[in-house]
Amino acid sequence: MVDVQHWLSALPPGVVYLIVAGVIGVESMGVPLPGEIVLVSSALLAATGVVEPEWVATAAAFGAIVGDSVGYAVGRRGGRPLLARLGRRFPRHLGPAQLARAEQSFARYGVWAVFFGRFVALLRILAGPLAGALHVPYRRFLLANAAGGLVWAFGTTYLLYSVGRAAEHWLKDISWAGLVVAVLAGVASTWWLRRRAHRVAAVDTAGEAEPVRAGTDR
């Protein structure tokens, strides 16, 4: 992530905003890209004054909402065969097991899976195409998509921006302050995302076990 931040710092601010919107947008269409890393790196850059946090958050929200909507349209048109092709192309990220977990989340939580999926790596990639393939009503999808995209983009950006500014204020005389902030932010965000993903997986696993017990009783 530090390498990404260093690479972005050499670019003009306008290009950084375009990269944030583009990477997150393509990721939201169903293509595994490091959208979270790009957003975290850009938010930490904003703390150093290289870019503006409001534009980073706006670009991230725009990419998330538009990308999910495009993914929804593609999924609605291509259906499950499209998801199967994506699984064959990206088996590590979108294989049958990952797709099954995502479908279980949709079946259990409905449109809320779109909102909370923005905060979970797997659903962040699959939410749009899967909602389209399952023919979730677009108005309901768009509402959850927009709400999730805005909360995720602005919440993540300003949280990391505030952490970075505070660290810069207290550690401004230490040359490795930026590295410390980047490492801590990366560890914290990775831990939080993994905890969310494990929680969703645990709930889905429990849901799978219930029908089995019911069938045994009969």
102 in Cβ contact with 8 (< 8 Å): no
pLDDT for position 217: 45
Q: Is the pTM above the cut of 0.75? A: no
Q: Using a CB cutoff of 8 Å and minimum separation of 24, what contacts does 139-146 make?
A: 140/111, 141/72, 141/111, 141/114, 142/69, 143/111, 144/111, 144/112, 144/114, 144/115, 145/64, 145/65, 145/68, 145/69, 145/72, 145/114, 145/115, 146/65
Token look-up 């560890």 returns 187
Structural contact between residues 55 and 15, judged by C-beta atoms closer than 8 angstroms: no
pLDDT (tens digit, 9 = 90+) per residue, 129-147? Answer: 888 888 888 999 999 999 9
Residue 208, CB-side half-sphere exposure with 13 Å CA sphere? 12
Is residue 168 scored above 70 in pLDDT? no
Let me know how long the chain is: 218
Q: What is the rounded average pLDDT of the residues 72-93?
A: 76
**Residue 171 reports pLDDT greater than 90:** no
Q: What distance in Å separates the CA atoms of residue 44 and residue 59, rounded to the nearest whole number?
A: 15
Q: What's the pLDDT tens digit per position in 21-75? A: 999 999 988 888 888 889 989 998 998 889 999 999 999 999 999 999 999 998 8
pLDDT for the residue 84: 74
- At residue 81, the pLDDT reads 76
Strand stretches in 70-216, DSSP E: none
> Cα(56)–Cα(4) distance, rounded to whole angstroms?
15
Across the range 194-203, mean pLDDT stands at 62
Q: What integer pLDDT is reported at residue 212 of this predicted model?
A: 45
**Predicted confidence (pLDDT) at residue 213 exceeds the cutoff of 50:** no
The percent of residues above 70 in pLDDT, for the chain, comes to: 72
Q: What percent of the chain is helix, strand and coil (3-state, nearest 5)?
A: 85, 0, 15
Q: Which residues contact 13 (CB under 8 A, 6 or more apart)?
A: 50, 51, 52, 55
